[in-house]
Amino acid sequence: EKTPVTLLGLGAMGTALARTWLAAGHPLTVWNRTPARATALAAEGARVADSAAEAVTANTLIVACLLDDASVDEVLADTDLADRDLVNLTTSTPAQARARAEWARERGARYLDGGIMAVPPMIGVPEAGGYVFYSGSRELFERHRETLAVPAGTTYVGEDAGFAALHDVALLSAMYGMFAGAAHAFALIRKEDIDPAALAPLLADWLVAMAPAVYRTADQLRSGDYTKGVVSDLAMQVAGTPTFLNTAEQQGVSPELLSPYFELMRRRLAEGSGEEDLTGVIDLLVH
């Protein structure tokens, strides 16, 4: 017998989640502020509740996938969460997630927070590699692990309800750094007779080849020895920065995405050792 699920929120993500539970044979109750978004799912077998309160009454496992933390507040305000298993997949900050966990506890609910590392087309497609970070009640995670694994992979990151959001934001922040670097790279060739489509595979392969450097960074952070396994030391890399800045200038490209990182490298070199890796930059960021 498949665990019945109540799902609040049928946006792009909620609808994708709903389809996977229906396809896997889980009895599904849905509710959405705009009822029209539930019509197609009703035809696919979902039960449509008239209110959020009714949807919450229908099942023990309640999954919320709403726009933001404020909408979670609004939707759950008039519901009875006593003895419910609330899994909140709404993107939030770690502080919002921790406050929401406390808020749920006060209402007699168990709480698990989630951070979705996937876009809707990756939901229900295991080979796409999407997954969800979970944090909060470990007991709740274990109890519903199988049901939660239907739409996407599951990665539990700790009892602190804020950790799923923190992992989510950490990974996405690194992604934006990568996008920023790629934007600068494309800008450099923009005015030349170089096909962006020819640069793309070179860029993608290079980024993938460099990505494992994060393991060395982690190793250095753990040991406290920032020279451990260093390949290209800080002194050498700082010495190389004029080449990057001069090339940008010659190509008529603003250095504004690169400069802040170079500035941190220079500060670390001035305060620390040239034999270190780039890891010391992290200490300059943390207040």
Instruction: Provide the binding-site residues for ligand NDP, judged by CB under 6 A.
Output: 9-14, 32-34, 37, 65-68, 71, 74-75, 90-91, 116, 119-120
Q: Least Å distance between CB 180 and ligand NDP? A: 20
Output the CA–CA distances (angstroms, integers) from residue 224 to 80, 216, 221, 228, 265, in the order listed.
49, 12, 5, 9, 18
Residues linked to residue 7 through DSSP beta bridges, in sequence order: 30, 63
Q: Least Å distance between CB 2 and ligand NDP? A: 23
- Indicate the residue among 54 and 74 with the shorter CB distance to ligand NDP: 74
Nearest CA-CA partner of 215 in 235, 233, 231, 239: 231
Q: What span, in angstroms and rounded, lies between the C-alpha atoms of 169 and 95?
A: 12
- Indicate the residue among 13 and 265 with the shorter CB distance to ligand NDP: 13
Pair 98, 120: CB distance under 8 Å? no
124: left (phi > 0), else alpha (psi -120 to 50), else beta? Answer: left
- Indicate the residue among 109 and 117 with the shorter CB distance to ligand NDP: 117
Three-state DSSP at 108 gives coil
Pair 133, 110: CB distance under 8 Å? no
Q: Least Å distance between CB 174 and ligand NDP? A: 16
Q: Least Å distance between CB 158 and ligand NDP? A: 20
Helix H or strand E encompassing 207 = helix 196-210
Place of tokens 């406290």: 224
Pair 132, 152: CB distance under 8 Å? yes
- Indicate the residue among 64 and 188 with the shorter CB distance to ligand NDP: 64
Q: Least Å distance between CB 65 and ligand NDP? A: 5
Q: Least Å distance between CB 273 and ligand NDP? A: 41
Q: What span, in angstroms and rounded, lies between the C-alpha atoms of 2 and 158?
A: 26
- Indicate the residue among 169 and 221 with the shorter CB distance to ligand NDP: 169
- Indicate the residue among 147 and 279 with the shorter CB distance to ligand NDP: 147
Q: Least Å distance between CB 32 and ligand NDP? A: 5
Structure tokens at 189: 């060739």
- Indicate the residue among 28 and 238 with the shorter CB distance to ligand NDP: 28
Residues with Cβ within 8 Å of residue 266, at least 6 apart in sequence: 238, 241
Name the residue whose CB lies closest to ligand NDP.
11
